[in-house]
């Protein structure tokens, strides 16, 4: 039996990942047909990717308009005061959703940037009022660390 090259294996993994990313509900048989691979090979690839944490999980993606959510972006400018590890962890690990649960906030992404602002928080909530409350309470919660915020 011929040995499979590493490049072929990586390409097969990429094919499987692409299909899973476009529709995680596809059956292994459907994925195998689309990739032109055996069912067993697809199953082994998926298990390997899950074990290596290349696949973190499977999720349903909802139409946010149909569930009443709107997208907002908050830009923030930090002060020169150093942040505690706990504050950094709250931002880095998206713990803000837990802290502000009553505002129905769903954090999409948090990035540090260079320029006029130091960070961007992309989030979903059900109303402009809750978006503004989130920004106000974020500034208070991070008191002394945030110089300015802007809602976009």
pTM to 2 decimals? 0.58
- Residue 98's pLDDT is 82
C-alpha–C-alpha distance, residues 87 and 141, integer Å: 9
- Cα–Cα distance, 57 to 133 (Å, whole number): 32
Neighbour count for residue 30 (Cβ, 10 Å): 14
Q: For 60-81, what is each residue's pLDDT tens digit?
A: 777 767 778 899 999 999 999 8
Domains assigned to the chain: 6-51 (1.10.10), 70-151 (3.30.70.920)
């Amino acid at each position: 039996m011929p040995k499979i090259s590493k490049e072929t294996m990586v390409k097969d993994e990429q094919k499987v990942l692409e299909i899973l990313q476009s529709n995680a509900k596809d059956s292994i048989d459907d994925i195998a047909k689309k990739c032109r691979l055996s069912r067993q090979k697809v199953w082994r690839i998926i298990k390997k990717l899950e074990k290596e944490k290349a696949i973190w999980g499977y999720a349903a993606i909802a139409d946010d308009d149909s569930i009443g959510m709107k997208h907002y972006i908050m830009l923030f400018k930090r002060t020169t005061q150093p942040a505690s590890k706990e504050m950094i962890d709250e931002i880095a690990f998206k713990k803000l959703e837990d802290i502000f649960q009553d505002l129905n906030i769903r954090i999409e992404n948090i990035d540090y940037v260079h320029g006029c602002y130091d960070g961007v928080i992309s989030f979903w909530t059900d109303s402009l009022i809750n978006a503004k409350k989130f920004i106000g309470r974020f500034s208070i919660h991070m008191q002394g660390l945030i110089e300015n915020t802007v809602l976009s």
